[in-house]
Structure 1
Amino acid sequence: MKRKMLSQWVAAVLAGGVLVSVPAFAADTDADAPAQAQSGTTNGQNTAAPAATKDLQAVTVTAEKRVENLQKVPVAVAVINTDQLAAYDVRDFNDLNRVAPSLVIKPAENPVNASLTIRGVGTFAFSIGVEPSVAVVVDDVPIAFQPRAFTDLSDIAQIEVLRGPQSTLYGKSASAGLINITTLPPTDTLTASVSALTTNDGEMGGSAVFSGPLAEHLGFRSSWNYDNFGGNVTNKYNGNDVNGRRTLSTRNKLVWDPTDQWNVTAGFDYIDGHTTTGRPFIALAPNANLRGIYAPSVFAPGITPGPDNTDVSNNYTTGTDYTDTAGSVKVSYDFANGGPTLMSITSYDSYKMFDRLDQDESALKQLDNRQFGTFASHQTTQEFRLLSPGDDRFRYTLGLFYADVDYSRNFGRGPYYSLASWYATSSSKQYAGFGQIEYDLWPGTTLILGGRESYEKIGYTFNDYLAKTAFNGSNGDNFGTYKAGIQQQVTDDFMLYFTTASGHKGETYDLSTGFNAVRAAGGPVKPETSTDYELGARMQFLDRHLTLNTTLFDTRYKDFQAQGIETLSDGTTNYRLANVGKLHTRGVELESSYHVNQDLTFGANATYLDAEITSFPFAQCYPNQTVAQGCTGTSVKSQNLAGARPPLAPKWKFDANFNYTHPLGGTGLLGVVNGSYTYQSEVNYSLSQDPMTVQGGYGIANFSIGVREESGRWEVMGFVNNAFDKHYYSNLTNSTSNYANQLAVQSYLPRDFERYFGIRATYNFQ
């Protein structure tokens, strides 16, 4: 009794101290995610409907490469299950912005230029060889090329967002965090389901899932998903809708359990996608003449620039066409008599994309400047992993990892200005050994030690067809990362931990337009490193109906890699990758959920982030920045960004959700109501602190209501997204240099820029 009272007192002190700075925040913890995958819950795309009632179960995660209870894991991790994916209407990777407060996703006209940030740190670069700061793993397979992750999220069981460096267990692409995605497994009985979706603004989608046993000890799952949205921007040139997507994807899985000790899982995924982009002017000066010649009435006829503008005029459709083919084989063997588990995970991935951009963003034939190219990546990985039983006093995770990744990029731009024509390749071979041990010093107290040693060899070629130059080079690097900490289980429902960990983001070459002898002689951009400290508490009350998890973090980054902007002699802009200096991020994260009863669940999540650039003495100035505003120098202009806030780092981010399911009399039906709200404070989309690329704080509310048959055979839901019609931008670009140095700001409109509603329905053949 005294221990329980003590734990509640400590928890109250921790929560009270946090609430001075941040509101409550949490992930829904009402179900065991892997177990839930078997019965299924709908995410609006596919999977079987949930059962009539929900039992209070523990959430399990694989954050430390083994299945563990979320409340026992000394890692800052948010879990999004299928119920939450439905409540937030998450169907695309960009939609994850709404469900993980420490995560911010910035899309772009080309997925290669998109970025993920966790706790204000991510990849602000698009040189073809640069690796992400936030890693993405799907079913234990790392995604080396991050844009491949920017596809649909169909047939998903659970998504885990791990904050802070995860390099010890997950490698050099996880210096800021990790997104761990688990897809649904085969079902025990033969099942099939179909679903459909339609919206008032023209989106249509459908999916089908087939799952069950093929033979004794052999199961399969095959899911197919199609989605088509024309877009929410009108191209006045031809009347077509743009800023949309079309996606056809399939996930296929075979699971063979020949004995109690052996398990073999083979996966094959394929996706064929198409995107279009339009960047409406939200601000344009009357004398902002394109290339200093053509007035707005000439290059943008019929368009009224302003905050709510959804029109463009382009004679060349900006967008991408891409395909991805991926396969993996995971083999595990459980040694007899409670021994360890040995695993082998082999994967292959091939991604190809053709991208195009209307560089002059007009319908002028006399200034028809275009940008286009192809991009390809090929990846093979091999991991061996040895896991001790999870209930031993001494536990370990040991592994070997190998990756071979090749990229190629063919790029052209012209013919009128900012000319470019080049072909580049980048290669990386990585060898690593890693391990983490947990040792119970005495009951309730656990010591954590981990490390990773890696060797990487990188190489490149760059052929500039206009300059008639060719370069190549290679380099090797040895590096290590670590993790150490202590965990205290105060009571069964109250755990404290303290950890320190380091992160490493590998060196790379700046393979982009403008590569020359000076860049070649300079060698690769140096690795980016990070050191993180975390203090966390995991608490449950009211017979585990109420969960409250708190994390305090402090992380410092050295040799931060980012893309800066340089102005060329013809007045156009170019991008260059460099080590920009140092960053410091710190803050508080709070996760809470309240399972009121089997019908009603609430959740709330929030992050307070204090992020600062501590050293960046020669940063690029933003367009038209004056000396008084900090842009100094003679032949080369620059600014000192020390003390500035990094881009994509909101001070506050908050989300809340509820789910209510209740029987409708004696009809055999359940009424279902979901709701979610997400708030994000002000962010700047530019590293240069450009005041024209600031998105103010905003909040988005989504609601859905529907009917579900009690046995889960069918479900029909109506939904409204951005219910209060709050307009915001997912990205902003200051295009001043193209428009006679006059005001010209373009926007990227998110899918829910305007309120829209629709219906989704699922039918399960049982």
Structure 2
Amino acid sequence: MTRDPTDTLHVRANAVVTSDQERGANVSVSGPLSPDVGYVFSAAYNFWDGNVHNVFDDKQVSGREAVNVRGKLRWKPTDDASITLSLNYVNGNTDVGRPFIHIAPGARLRGVATLDPATVFPGVTISPDNQDISNNFDSRTKYQGGGGYLRGEFGVFGEMNLISISSYDRYHLDDYLDQDDTSSTTTYGNNNQIGSFDSEQFTQELRLQSPGDKPFRYTVGAYAATNSFERAFVRGPAFSIANWDATSKSRQVAGFVQADWTVYPGLTLTGGGRVQNERVSYTFVDHAAGNAAFSGKAYDTAGTYRGSVRYEFTPTVSGFFTYSTGYKGQTYDLTTGFNQNRALAGPIRPERSRDKELGLRTQFFGRRLTLNVTLFDTDYDNLQAQTIETLPDGTSNYRLTNVGGLNTRGIEFEGSATLASDLTLGGSVTYLDAKYTSFGTAQCYPLQTAALGCTGTPTRQNLTGTRVPQAPEWKFNVNADYSPRLTDTLRGVAQVNWQYQSSLYYAARDPETFQPAFHIVNVGLGIRDEDRRWEVVGFVNNLFDQQYYSSLVNTAGNFGNQIATQALLPRDFRRYGGVRLALNF
């Protein structure tokens, strides 16, 4: 999906520097090597120091550093044949800090009377705006990966087009976490987790396409893929102890077909289907339980389909209705807590969905005004989602399972307007109603009581009818770009972007994970070349310095069942400014 080679030399470059220590640059060069061979080469680097301060070692964390390199060669020996080779490589690292924003005066690490907040977080003042941590182990990740694809397109059987896509990808990640999130010198304050993750994927796809300018058009194809994953994980030594290795493999083959039929000008019917067969297998060795070993495999064959009707009322006004089904294959949850009971239960069942969409696409005033609206309604059965389970030592653990049913429905508006040659406006608004339709035995959240709905043996709560976590009811985005002429060759640049998100819970009903509604405004002011060959813009993001969280975690279980809430801070948790430079020639 990256840019194809160009017929002439083309260079794009961007750079950014900010007031909070971000710096980055990317460059893309494209052109011909010969009349039949073209190339694209791109590279990018980004570094950000982070917005969390670890007072234990006086380091900034929650930052990132990454290098990406891509290359593409396309050979076009004839007018109806082309071969494209694309390769990519990524290498990067992150560090993680999860500041405490709420903590009860009586909170004690693992319930130990002497391990109060002042002892385990020395130098940290807990508050909703806190950006400090005190960790004696660096929470971080380091990753690298690469791969590529070979794509061939060939004219066959006269007007038909045959496409072959072969791909390979490999990825490795090392992850480290200060599990107790403190700098306590006791064993409880040195509980860490270390893991590694490896993945490898091969895919092969073949598609035969009919001519695209006929009233009846179709595509038939086949797809095959193999995936393998390896995970090693160690946590301890004081609590939430884990030490295991796991592997997972899958093999998939599928056939698919889709046809578009323009019954008469303006009316197009579309139908398609896919049948796939999957095989999944796993191994799991729990070294913390005497090297208990488990393995298993499962097969499944499933079909999905899609149908739609589209009608063009005028060349710039059209409507459509689509009905489609979805399928997410069976899998195994290979995480801490895997045991004989999970092994005997077999794989997590496939998730299925049924989706309906009704929409209108319009353009007016010589295509200067675009207005689109889409209504959507999707039902999920056997929803695969992460839930929380309590381990024997009282700590919490996340696992994947089938949690019941879910419905998401809503409406989305989007539009853009060119009010003048130098002024454009754009925006979108989404209303989302996302609720569990069946989830009767959900895990209780930490500190939930019977009066708050946590009942039964084992304790549980009923989330049926409850809004899904991380699903805001309202979101909107409005942007404007004003580019007045300054001279015959220069234009000014004034940009504004306004984002809004309504409130949500990061864990269902848990008041400690409630994120109130918030607004974010970003502005930019600069200058650009008349032909946009270069541009310099100074910007301020989160102009009004509004604080919000990208995630909230209730860790009361680690602090004697007293309030202890941590946050992950977004990139724009605080206002920051910078300068962007763009070149395009």
Return the alpha-carbon distance in structure 1 between the equivalents of residues 431 and 84 of structure 2. 40
State the one-letter code of the partner of 1:184.
R
State the one-letter code of the partner of 2:259.
I
Name the SS for the 2:495 alignment partner.
strand
Return the alpha-carbon distance in structure 2 between the equivalents of residues 396 and 727 of structure 1. 51
Partner in structure 2 of residue 573 of structure 1: 396
* Cα-to-partner distance string for 1:372-409 (whole Å, 9 max, x where unaligned): 11001000111111222222110112221111110110
Return the alpha-carbon distance in structure 2 between the equivalents of residues 427 and 549 of structure 1. 42
Partner in structure 2 of residue 196 of structure 1: 15
Name the SS for the 1:596 alignment partner.
strand
Partner in structure 1 of residue 481 of structure 2: 659
1:546-695 superposed matches below 5 A: 546-634=369-457, 636-666=458-488, 668-686=489-507, 688-695=508-515
- Select 2:143's aligned residue among 311, 318, 322: 322
Return the alpha-carbon distance in structure 1 between the equivalents of residues 537 and 3 of structure 2. 22
Return the alpha-carbon distance in structure 1 between the equivalents of residues 521 and 34 of structure 2. 46
- The answer (yes or no) to whether the contact 1:657–1:677 under 8 Å persists in 2 is yes
Give ranges in structure 2 of 5+ residues lacking alignment: none
Partner in structure 1 of residue 363 of structure 2: 540
Return the alpha-carbon distance in structure 1 between the equivalents of residues 532 and 316 of structure 2. 33
* Cα-to-partner distance string for 1:563-615 (whole Å, 9 max, x where unaligned): 11112232211122211101111111111111223322111101111111111
State the one-letter code of the partner of 2:539.
F
Q: Kindly report the root-mean-square deviation, in angstroms, between the aligned alpha carbons of the 2 structures.
A: 1.3
Partner in structure 1 of residue 92 of structure 2: 273
Partner in structure 1 of residue 285 of structure 2: 463
Return the alpha-carbon distance in structure 2 between the equivalents of residues 263 and 550 of structure 1. 38
Partner in structure 1 of residue 54 of structure 2: 235
- The answer (yes or no) to whether the contact 1:388–1:395 under 8 Å persists in 2 is yes
State the one-letter code of the partner of 2:137.
Y
Return the alpha-carbon distance in structure 1 between the equivalents of residues 70 and 386 of structure 2. 35
* Cα-to-partner distance string for 1:647-685 (whole Å, 9 max, x where unaligned): 11111111111122232123x212122221111111111
Return the alpha-carbon distance in structure 1 between the equivalents of residues 157 and 423 of structure 2. 43
Matched, 1:251 2:70: yes
Distance apart, 1:335 and its partner CA: 4.1
Partner in structure 2 of residue 216 of structure 1: 35
Partner in structure 2 of residue 441 of structure 1: 263
- Select 1:491's aligned residue among 298, 306, 314: 314
- The answer (yes or no) to whether the contact 1:703–1:719 under 8 Å persists in 2 is yes
Matched, 1:426 2:426: no
Partner in structure 1 of residue 214 of structure 2: 392
Distance apart, 1:192 and its partner CA: 3.4
Return the alpha-carbon distance in structure 2 between the equivalents of residues 612 and 543 of structure 1. 41
Partner in structure 1 of residue 126 of structure 2: 305
Question: How does the TM-score come out when normalised to structure 1?
Answer: 0.74
- Select 1:525's aligned residue among 348, 353, 361: 348
Partner in structure 1 of residue 573 of structure 2: 753
Name the SS for the 1:466 alignment partner.
helix
Distance apart, 1:618 and its partner CA: 0.8
* Cα-to-partner distance string for 1:527-547 (whole Å, 9 max, x where unaligned): 000111111111111121111
Name the SS for the 2:451 alignment partner.
coil
Return the alpha-carbon distance in structure 2 between the equivalents of residues 191 and 523 of structure 1. 54
- Select 2:155's aligned residue among 314, 329, 334: 334
- The answer (yes or no) to whether the contact 2:553–2:567 under 8 Å persists in 1 is yes
**Which stretch shifts more, 710-719 or 750-759?**
710-719
- The answer (yes or no) to whether the contact 1:380–1:403 under 8 Å persists in 2 is yes
Partner in structure 2 of residue 145 of structure 1: none
- The answer (yes or no) to whether the contact 1:256–1:264 under 8 Å persists in 2 is yes
- The answer (yes or no) to whether the contact 2:337–2:391 under 8 Å persists in 1 is no
1:15-54 superposed matches below 5 A: none
Partner in structure 2 of residue 721 of structure 1: 541
Distance apart, 1:713 and its partner CA: 3.8
- Select 1:479's aligned residue among 302, 320, 329: 302
Matched, 1:292 2:111: yes
State the one-letter code of the partner of 1:206.
A
* Cα-to-partner distance string for 1:161-220 (whole Å, 9 max, x where unaligned): xxxxxxxxxxxxxxxxxxxxxx22223222334432211111111223222111112111
Percent identity, aligned pairs only, is 48
State the one-letter code of the partner of 2:227.
V
Distance apart, 1:336 and its partner CA: 7.5
Question: What is the number of equivalent residue pairs in this alignment?
Answer: 580
Cα 1:722–1:273, aligned 2, differ >3 Å: closer, same or farther? same
Distance apart, 1:272 and its partner CA: 0.4
Cα 1:346–1:598, aligned 2, differ >3 Å: closer, same or farther? farther
- Select 2:555's aligned residue among 727, 732, 735: 735
- The answer (yes or no) to whether the contact 1:261–1:336 under 8 Å persists in 2 is no
Matched, 1:184 2:13: no
Return the alpha-carbon distance in structure 2 between the equivalents of residues 612 and 426 of structure 1. 32
4+ runs deviating over 6 angstroms: none
Q: Larger relative CO (CA 8 A, sep 6+): 1 or 2?
A: 1
- The answer (yes or no) to whether the contact 1:558–1:583 under 8 Å persists in 2 is yes
- Select 1:709's aligned residue among 494, 515, 529: 529
Greater helix content: 1
Distance apart, 1:506 and its partner CA: 0.6
Give ranges in structure 1 of 5+ residues lacking alignment: 1-138, 140-182
Question: How does the TM-score come out when normalised to structure 2?
Answer: 0.97
1:77-226 superposed matches below 5 A: 139=1, 183-226=2-45
Cα 1:609–1:712, aligned 2, differ >3 Å: closer, same or farther? closer
State the one-letter code of the partner of 2:21.
G
Return the alpha-carbon distance in structure 1 between the equivalents of residues 424 and 316 of structure 2. 19
Name the SS for the 2:119 alignment partner.
helix
- The answer (yes or no) to whether the contact 2:355–2:376 under 8 Å persists in 1 is yes
Return the alpha-carbon distance in structure 2 between the equivalents of residues 545 and 336 of structure 1. 42
Return the alpha-carbon distance in structure 2 between the equivalents of residues 564 and 762 of structure 1. 44
Return the alpha-carbon distance in structure 2 between the equivalents of residues 713 and 344 of structure 1. 36
State the one-letter code of the partner of 1:411.
F
Name the SS for the 1:643 alignment partner.
coil
Return the alpha-carbon distance in structure 1 between the equivalents of residues 534 and 308 of structure 2. 48
- Select 1:369's aligned residue among 191, 196, 204: 191
- The answer (yes or no) to whether the contact 1:708–1:716 under 8 Å persists in 2 is yes
Return the alpha-carbon distance in structure 1 between the equivalents of residues 19 and 377 of structure 2. 45
Name the SS for the 2:452 alignment partner.
coil
Name the SS for the 1:646 alignment partner.
coil
Return the alpha-carbon distance in structure 2 between the equivalents of residues 272 and 340 of structure 1. 41
State the one-letter code of the partner of 1:321.
K
Return the alpha-carbon distance in structure 2 between the equivalents of residues 206 and 553 of structure 1. 39
- The answer (yes or no) to whether the contact 1:347–1:380 under 8 Å persists in 2 is yes
Structure of larger gyration radius: 2
Return the alpha-carbon distance in structure 1 between the equivalents of residues 475 and 583 of structure 2. 36
Distance apart, 1:427 and its partner CA: 0.6
